[in-house]
Amino acid sequence: MKLTKTLLATSALTIAAGMVHADAHMADEMTIVSWGGAYSNSQQKAYHDPYMEKTGVKIINDESSAEAVSKLRAMKEAGNVTWDVVDVVASDALRLCDEGLAMEIDPDEMLAEGDDGSSASDDFGDLLVGDCFIPQIVYSTTVGYRTDLVGDTPPTDICAIFDTETYPGKRALEKRPIGNMEWALLCDGVDKEEIYDVLETEEGQQQALDKLATIKDDVIWWSAGADTPQLLADGEVIMGSTYNGRLFSLIEEQDQPVAMMWDAQVFDLDGWIIPTGLSEERQARALDYVRFATDTQRLADQAKYISYGPARKSSAPLVGKHAELGIEMAPHMPTDPENAKNTFLYNYEFWADYRDDIDAKFQAWLAQ
């Protein structure tokens, strides 16, 4: 009997303790959604930690950006939006904006002025795509290669991907058409200016797929940003595309025998959106956070931890050295003139119109 009583008492206590603990937690928290890994780390150090110190709000990280669109749809359906600020790529922001899932932003009113006195809309300039997107960084998808596996002539041209004679071995490419189709056409002799005109046509799409088919047996298709660094570190592939920040960490922080091939890197933007359907109090807090996190100094601070370029023009001169390694970050930015000789900018308009169609063709081609 004594044992039973003890058991019952502990059970009751455990449950009670759990509930009390849970209730105390709810007040003054905000959930910020991002990509995880080194990227979330850089945001934690550059934005979250100073913001928590300044305001006393507790920030919870949710690493769900990869499925942000579908999750926000489900939340709206269920009438219970649990996210306060969401980090998404620009194309997802455009979709969320069109569907009314993201709040419209007036940059000059809601965002901080640049440190140099320029208005927010001038400071961000062209990067303010869509009505809901608050730009944060410029990143690029580019190719890294194993310096010890490519022989005496390291590749400098994007077409090395398609040159299996000079560079035999597996390559890692992203499991989606964006970027790959452009590279394929470029290496099939299409003029860079005409690529999107060609890609609009059935024949053009087929031409790109045919070019990709020449290396299909040599490609490992990746879907998560961590895949290519792991494959390169293993020596499983001799070159592969991934985000430039991942390659930076692989080369500088992990000391792997890998080098960057900046040629034909595809620029893309990443930034914040604020979901619609928040209570007034939460929306005000989210706006306050975004205003703080996208000011000139904060954006420049982030570049201390990861090699993505700040979205404000006024932040560029403030970019300093890496916080732990002490190396200058400017030459590692995708936007550095040395690295940006030949670049693509993610073509939002084109892919908004053709993405579903080409995606379906690409996936069908993959399955063949």
SS3 21: helix
Distance in angstroms (rounded) separating the CA atoms of residues 142 and 277 = 37
Distance in angstroms (rounded) separating the CA atoms of residues 212 and 113 = 46
User: β-strands 239-243, 134-146: how paired?
Assistant: antiparallel
Site string for other proteins, 22-51 (x = CB under 8 A): x--xx--x-x-x-xxxx-------------
Residue whose tokens read 């932003």: 105
Tokens at 257, concatenated: 């025998």
φ/ψ of 69, rounded to 5, equals -65, -50
Q: Which stretch binds other proteins (CB under 8 A): 79-87, 112-120, 133-141, 358-366?
A: 79-87
Number of residues that bind other proteins (CB under 8 A): 40
Q: Which of residues 205-224 bind other proteins (CB under 8 A)?
A: 224
By CB under 8 A, name the one of 52, 57, 66, 352 that touches other proteins: 66
By CB under 8 A, name the one of 82, 119, 121, 201 that touches other proteins: 82
Distance in angstroms (rounded) separating the CA atoms of residues 182 and 197 = 11
Nearest to 318 by CA among 301, 306, 338, 336: 301
Taking CA atoms, 328 is separated from 38, 97, 252, in Å, by: 18, 37, 12
What secondary structure does DSSP assign to 164-204, as a single string? TTTS-S-EEEESSSTTHHHHHHHHTT--GGGHHHHHTSHHH
Number of helices (H), then strands (E), belonging to the chain: the values are 15, 10
Shortest Å distance, C-beta 340 to other proteins: 27
Tokens at 101, concatenated: 């899932």
Residues forming a β-bridge with 261 = 143
Task: Give CA angle at 106 (105, 110), nearest 5°.
Answer: 90
Q: Which of residues 306-345 bind other proteins (CB under 8 A)?
A: none
Closest to other proteins by CB, 78 vs 367, is: 78
Shortest Å distance, C-beta 97 to other proteins: 23
62 contributes a contact to other proteins by CB under 8 A: yes
Shortest Å distance, C-beta 333 to other proteins: 21
Residues 6+ apart with CB under 8 A from 81: 72, 75, 275, 276, 277, 278
Q: Which of residues 275-294 bind other proteins (CB under 8 A)?
A: none
By CB under 8 A, name the one of 9, 49, 54, 63 that touches other proteins: 63
By CB under 8 A, name the one of 6, 9, 11, 357 that touches other proteins: 11
By CB under 8 A, name the one of 215, 233, 259, 352 that touches other proteins: 233
79 contributes a contact to other proteins by CB under 8 A: yes
By CB under 8 A, name the one of 27, 53, 56, 80 that touches other proteins: 80
98 contributes a contact to other proteins by CB under 8 A: no
By CB under 8 A, name the one of 45, 52, 55, 60 that touches other proteins: 60
Distance in angstroms (rounded) separating the CA atoms of residues 262 and 342 = 8
Q: Which stretch binds other proteins (CB under 8 A): 60-68, 112-120, 139-147, 180-188?
A: 60-68
Binding site for other proteins (CB under 8 A): 1, 4, 11, 14-15, 18-19, 21-22, 25-26, 29, 31, 33, 35-38, 60-64, 66, 74-75, 77-80, 82, 224-227, 229-230, 233-234, 254
